[in-house]
Amino acid sequence: MTTPAPITTQFDLAEKFPGTVSADARPGYAGWIVAPEKLTEVAIFIRDELGYDLLSSVTGVDYLAEGLMEIVYHVYKTSGGPALVFKAQLPRLDPVKVASLTPVWLGAELQEREIWDLYGIHFENHPDLRRILMWEGFDGHPMRKDWKEAFYDDEVKPFKSRWPEGKHAFAEDRSPFGDNVSFEAGFDPEKWTATDPEEALYATLKKYKTVVKDGIATDHILVNMGPQHPSTHGVFRAVVMLDGENVVSLKPVMGYLHRNHEKIGERNTFLQNMPYTDRLDYFNSMSNNWPYAMAVEKMMGIQVTERAEYIRVIMAELSRIQNHMILIGMLMNDLGAYFTPALYAFEERELILDIFEAASGSRMMCNYHRFGGVVRDVPAEALQKLKDLVFERLPGKIDEFDRLLSENEIFVSRLKGIGYLSPEDAIRTSMTGPMLRASGIPYDIRRADPYSVYDRFDFNVAVRYNGDLYDRYLIRIDEMRESIKILEQALRQMPEGPVMSVKPTYQVKVPAGEAYGRIESPKGELGFYVVSNGKPNPYRYHVRAPSFINLTSLEMTCVNEKIADFVAILGAVDIVLGELDR
């Protein structure tokens, strides 16, 4: 271990703001509780005086029994080190109100909208407080603990109606409306008139106006791209206002794949959530498991065996290579090089998936991590295949990509100087991962706040300084090369031994408290905020999704670019809808 331990003594906020800030004294909890009226003031102090410039995650929690709603903020320094956590507790009145922190950290924008949508907490002075995952007009705020879905069975699993005495029955038969819908008593669909849900959305775009240029009246054009559009990588939608070909204003619209991950997650037992994390960023199920396992392990206070740590690193880095290859292939698709580069990428991906399948039993949805290690060891043949791949094949393939594309004239002229994002803006909008590093900020959690065994490897943090699309492409190539370095070292150093540090059980016992686990996923900071109240199910289970938060800067990077470049800019953000909408 060569890296010096980060300075962990934290500034005493309670001393600085007596009466306003107090330490969170609940057992298992940490951080500071800030009086809601002074939230902005304290936040500005934390940002400007203490230097926590990166707002990572904003989480709402509903403490129904205590009559409180809590908002948890995790902030980091881009120079590295652990988080500073502060919370605002709001009485559960109607309406629940708090000041928006978007003026302090712009990165709060989408996350606060999500909390408004799911918890009904009103953020005052938020620039655009509309529903984000559900549609405008939906009845209720579904993540509140007292809100029940139509197929509600029991508070938590295992549902008694099914196990141990019960037997399976159709959820449709239980719901009064015979389907996954519920309406208020006395609701009359004939009298209900549809209000245009898009009106509020269009109103947020820069005004549609007619100008007369050289005697010719010209209009701005409103274009809807998605939710079914070949370039939006799934069911993402963007509403774009165009002046000719130039983007004047743009709004991302999401929620078309909102599968209620968090609500289901709070009914599941701790272990049952593991396969659900696979389905977040479905390109990288191997690395999705990790931060969740990490958060729960933190609360349980258990260690992971040496060998399991190495396996986790290996699988995560393989995931990264595979993800970046596909990203580059798909980016080429977006630029019009239809599917040929993507086919190159898929060829390598299949080989990597073979290893995942051998280790975990499934190609895509690996469900491989367990609390305390991984579910089983990598079989010997797969390990051999893996070594061949890492030492023989992949480095050459990455070079091939590099040779094929990096200097291709059309490619370069489509990418250079497009979609510029300045380092200040990148931090302000809470970018993480390649998006941040391509803007010149060398912030990589593997180095900034090392976890697992990453401090044992010799690798560089890839960083590029131009902040344009071309750098966002190059940084992926750099990162793949660094991943190969890590893989080579990990494979050489990997010790023998068990892969689980505790006896595997279905019902893990998690002491009450909170924990936040995060890793540098291929897309950015993937974090899980988990609260336990000592029961077999998480009380709160929140995903800090990089695909989602990295979209905060989308409008910024697209304005004044051409509509065709918007497609490429979106492609280079690297979104996956499962994670974006959760």
Chain contacts with other proteins (rule: CB under 8 A)? 133-135, 137-139, 142, 149-153, 171-172, 176-190, 192, 194, 197, 227-230, 234-235, 255-261, 263-264, 267, 275-276, 279, 282-283, 342-343, 346-347, 349-350, 363-365, 577-578
Report d(CA 17, CA 453) in Å as an integer: 38
Q: Smallest distance from the beta carbon of 325 to other proteins, in angstroms?
A: 12
**To 5 degrees, how large is the angle CA 117–CA 120–CA 126?**
75
Q: Which is nearer to other proteins, 285 or 553 (CB)?
A: 285
| 3-state SS, residue 139 | coil
How distant, in Å, are the alpha carbons of 110, 149, 180, 505 from that of 265? 21, 14, 18, 19
Cα 506 off chain centre by: 27
For residue 191, with 0-12 CB atoms within 10 Å meaning exposed, 13-18 middle and 19 or more buried, which class applies? Answer: exposed
Contact 104, 49 (CB under 8 A): no
Q: Which is nearer to other proteins, 513 or 536 (CB)?
A: 536
Nearer to other proteins, 259 or 456 (CB): 259
Whose structure tokens read 């990455």? 398
Q: How far is CA 89 from the centre of its chain?
A: 24
Q: How far is the CB of 235 from other proteins (least distance, A)?
A: 6
* Nearer to other proteins among residue 175 and residue 466 (C-beta): 175
193 alpha-carbon distance from chain centroid: 36
Whichever of 41 and 357 has its CB closer to other proteins, that residue is: 357
Q: What angle do CA 429, 432, 437 make, to 5 degrees?
A: 105
Nearer to other proteins, 7 or 185 (CB): 185
Q: Shortest CA distance to 345 belongs to which of 335, 336, 333, 358?
A: 333
Shortest reach from residue 13's CB to other proteins, in Å: 38
Instruction: Name the minimum Å distance from CB 543 to other proteins.
Output: 14
Residues 291, 278 contacting (CB under 8 angstroms): no
- Report the residue number, 263 or 518, with the smaller CB distance to other proteins: 263
CB neighbour list of residue 165: distance below 8 Å, 6 or more residues apart: none
Q: Cα torsion at 431, 435, 440, 442 (round to 10°)?
A: 70
- Please state the closest distance from residue 385 (CB atom) to other proteins, in A: 16
CB 180, min distance to other proteins, A: 5
Residue 144 or residue 544: which is nearer to other proteins going by CB? 144
Burial 541-558 (b: 16+ CB within 10 A, else e): bbbbbbbbbbbbbbbbbb
Residue number with CB closer to other proteins (150 or 563): 150
CB of 91 to other proteins, least distance (A): 26
Report the C-alpha gap between 526 and 57 in whole angstroms.
10
**Could you give the CA distance from residue 190 to residue 559 in angstroms, rounded to a whole number?**
43
Distance in Å, CB of 172 to other proteins, minimum: 7
- In the complex, the smallest distance separating the C-beta of residue 152 from other proteins, rounded to whole angstroms, is 8
Residue given tokens 């903020």 in the structure block: 73
Least distance from other proteins to the Cβ atom of residue 182, Å: 6
Nearer to other proteins, 419 or 522 (CB): 522
